[in-house]
């Protein structure tokens, strides 16, 4: 028998055929666009363009600020403050020993000749030379001036004038007197003073902030936590000049009475004031870090018989170590760069001493106190910008450690990676 052949159908084939599937899909997509695709309007594009422009402008301004600070401090790194003058004369002091530093002066030969021409009068008769007496001593010789300058400056430091060029080697001393007749720019007292106040601030602020964060995160009732947390964070909104005035008038008297100190303002008082400014930062980050620890760790610790305090101290606190470490580093940066509290509560004396009971001076306080009165472009001006460069380098190191060490090393360690 002959098999029956299927009759050809006039109906269209389904769109699932391989050859017609792409065409059908395009038709469906054209009629019904996906929900994830949205036609952007002109207003949205303008808003995005504005956001990008503001962000790029902010980044550019930040880099310009850094470049400006480095440019103003560049003479310290690259050869002093003479501005490239080739006629700058360097007068050497009379030899008093093989290691006597030179007297560095900016008086040029042209200035000396002009001064002599103004004082010389060929038409006037010769005046009698006055005889030296007790009330009218003889004029000082260059050797006398050098000996007097050496007594002021001390041994080992070069004898500078206010317009003398300064380089990095002149900063490695323990005497900061930039406004003296013969200025000295030793920054060791400023470094030591900054370290002392920062150490006191962290010793005062870190334990209080961590304990307060542990209390509000694990022990405090809800109504106490909702009241105490905003109250502590409110300290961050208090102006630093108010905290400095409080330390100047109240904390200084209390500390001096309790410890019987000779100096009312010292690194202890300044450190307490800086600690009050650091507490909100450390507390907020520590509280967030403790709350971010999974609750299963706390439940497992309590299930094996540990108390609430043992759980908080031995389980939850170590698990939150990356965040706590970051909070401490940010607090150090805040204490290191604070200006008004350090200016008002530390005594602002550039003395080199490791005693915590003596007045000190910090980087930020030095810049804030002297920048407004310094001559633009002078060596003192450049040294202050050099201190600003050191502040920037320290802040960069703190942020670098926080970003790469805390986030990479510690987080991987506690996650078991």
For residue 404, being part of any structural domain is answered with: yes
pTM of the model: 0.73
Coil/strand/helix, residue 160: strand
Out of 237-251, 364-378, 403-417, pick the least confident: 403-417
Residues 254 and 386 in one domain: yes
Query: In the prediction, which pLDDT does 322 show?
Result: 83
pLDDT at residue 278 greater than cutoff 60: yes
Residues 292 and 272 in one domain: yes
Rounded to an integer, the average pLDDT of 2-21 is 52
For residue 213, being part of any structural domain is answered with: yes
Number of domains present in the structure of the chain: 3
Residue-wise pLDDT for 294-330, tens only, equals 888 888 998 998 888 889 888 899 888 888 988 998 8
Q: Of the residues 78, 96, 127, which one is the last residue of a structural domain?
A: 78
For residue 132, being part of any structural domain is answered with: no
Query: In the prediction, which pLDDT does 99 show?
Result: 44
Out of 24-33, 158-167, 221-230, 242-251, pick the least confident: 24-33
For residue 3, being part of any structural domain is answered with: no
Residues 279 and 378 in one domain: yes
- Answer yes or no: are the C-beta atoms of 244 and 345 closer than 8 Å: yes
pLDDT at residue 54 greater than cutoff 90: yes
Query: In the prediction, which pLDDT does 26 show?
Result: 58
Coil/strand/helix, residue 177: strand
Instruction: List Cα–Cα distances, 277 to 243, 287, 327, 399, in angstroms.
Output: 8, 17, 13, 19
CATH number of 261's domain: 1.10.3720.10
Residues 148 and 72 in one domain: no
pLDDT at residue 85 greater than cutoff 70: no
| Rounded percentage of the chain residues whose pLDDT exceeds 70 | 72
Query: In the prediction, which pLDDT does 97 show?
Result: 42
Residue-wise pLDDT for 178-197, tens only, equals 888 888 898 999 999 999 99
For residue 206, being part of any structural domain is answered with: yes
Out of 11-20, 143-152, 350-359, pick the least confident: 11-20
H-only helix segments in 234-303: 240-246, 252-259, 267-291, 295-303
Residue-wise pLDDT for 139-152, tens only, equals 656 676 677 777 77
Residues 151 and 294 in one domain: no
Residue whose token pair is 């303008």: 46
DSSP secondary structure letter of residue 179: T
For residue 368, being part of any structural domain is answered with: yes
- Residue 102 in tokens: 């030179």
Residues 252 and 204 in one domain: yes
Query: In the prediction, which pLDDT does 34 show?
Result: 56
pLDDT at residue 378 greater than cutoff 60: yes
pLDDT at residue 95 greater than cutoff 60: no
Most confident of 1-10, 105-114, 175-184, 405-414: 175-184
Cα(250)–Cα(260) distance, integer angstroms? 15
- Answer yes or no: are the C-beta atoms of 186 and 172 closer than 8 Å: yes
Where in the sequence is the domain holding 247, given as residue range(s)? 188-415
Residues 221 and 101 in one domain: no
329 backbone dihedrals φ, ψ, rounded to 5°: -65, -40
Query: In the prediction, which pLDDT does 165 show?
Result: 85
Query: In the prediction, which pLDDT does 254 show?
Result: 93
Q: Of the residues 78, 97, 123, which one is the last residue of a structural domain?
A: 78
Residues 362 and 379 in one domain: yes
Query: In the prediction, which pLDDT does 92 show?
Result: 38
Residue-wise pLDDT for 17-35, tens only, equals 445 555 555 555 555 555 5
Residues 311 and 294 in one domain: yes
Q: What share of the chain is helix, strand, coil (3-state, %, to 5)?
A: 60, 5, 35
pLDDT at residue 127 greater than cutoff 60: no
For residue 209, being part of any structural domain is answered with: yes
Residues 411 and 273 in one domain: yes
pLDDT at residue 83 greater than cutoff 90: no
Query: In the prediction, which pLDDT does 197 show?
Result: 94
Q: How confident is the model at residue 207 (pLDDT cuts 50, 70, 90)?
A: very high
DSSP β-ladder status, 159-160 and 176-177: unpaired
Number of Cβ within 10 Å of residue 111's Cβ equals: 12
Residues 151 and 231 in one domain: no
Residues 239 and 297 in one domain: yes
- Answer yes or no: are the C-beta atoms of 220 and 392 closer than 8 Å: no
Average pLDDT, the chain: 78
Q: How confident is the model at residue 413 (pLDDT cuts 50, 70, 90)?
A: low
Query: In the prediction, which pLDDT does 209 show?
Result: 94
Query: In the prediction, which pLDDT does 350 show?
Result: 82
Residue-wise pLDDT for 210-240, tens only, equals 999 999 998 888 888 888 888 888 888 889 9
For residue 380, being part of any structural domain is answered with: yes
Rounded to an integer, the average pLDDT of 43-54 is 89
- Answer yes or no: are the C-beta atoms of 297 and 319 closer than 8 Å: yes
């Amino acid at each position: 028998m002959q098999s029956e052949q299927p009759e050809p159908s006039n109906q269209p084939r389904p769109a699932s055929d391989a050859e017609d599937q792409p065409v059908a899909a395009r038709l469906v997509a054209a009629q019904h666009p996906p929900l994830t695709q949205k036609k952007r309007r002109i207003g949205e594009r303008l808003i995005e363009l504005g956001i990008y422009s503001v962000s790029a402008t902010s980044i550019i301004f930040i880099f310009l600020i850094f470049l400006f600070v480095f440019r103003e401090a560049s003479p310290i790194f690259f050869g002093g403050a003479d501005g490239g003058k080739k006629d700058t004369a360097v007068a050497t002091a009379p030899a008093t020993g093989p290691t006597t530093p030179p007297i560095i002066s900016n008086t040029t030969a042209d200035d000396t000749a002009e001064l002599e021409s103004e004082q010389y009068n060929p038409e006037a008769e010769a005046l009698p030379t006055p005889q030296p007496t007790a009330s009218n001593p003889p004029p000082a010789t260059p050797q006398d001036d050098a000996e007097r300058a050496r007594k002021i400056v001390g041994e080992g430091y070069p004898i500078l004038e206010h317009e003398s060029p300064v380089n990095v080697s002149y900063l490695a001393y323990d005497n900061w007197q930039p406004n003296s007749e013969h200025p000295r720019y030793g920054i060791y007292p400023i470094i030591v003073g900054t370290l002392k106040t920062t150490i006191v601030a962290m010793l005062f602020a870190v334990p209080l902030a961590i304990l307060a964060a542990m209390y509000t995160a694990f022990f405090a009732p809800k109504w106490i936590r909702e009241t105490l947390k905003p109250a502590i964070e409110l300290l961050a909104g208090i102006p630093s000049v108010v905290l400095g005035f409080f330390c100047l008038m109240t904390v200084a008297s209390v500390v001096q009475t309790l410890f019987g100190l000779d100096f009312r303002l010292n690194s202890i008082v300044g450190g307490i004031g800086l600690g009050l400014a650091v507490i909100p930062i450390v507390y907020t980050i520590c509280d967030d870090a403790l709350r971010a620890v999974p609750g299963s760790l706390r439940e497992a610790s309590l299930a094996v018989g540990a108390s609430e305090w043992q759980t908080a101290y031995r389980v939850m606190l170590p698990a939150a170590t990356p965040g706590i470490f970051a909070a401490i580093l940010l607090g150090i940066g805040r204490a290191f760069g604070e200006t008004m509290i350090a200016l008002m509560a530390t005594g602002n004396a550039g003395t080199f001493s490791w005693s915590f009971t003596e007045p000190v001076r910090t980087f930020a306080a030095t810049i804030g106190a002297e920048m407004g009165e310094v001559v633009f472009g002078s060596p003192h001006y450049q040294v202050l910008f050099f201190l600003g460069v050191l502040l920037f380098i320290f802040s960069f190191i703190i942020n670098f450690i926080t970003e790469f060490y805390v986030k990479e090393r510690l987080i991987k360690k506690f996650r078991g990676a």
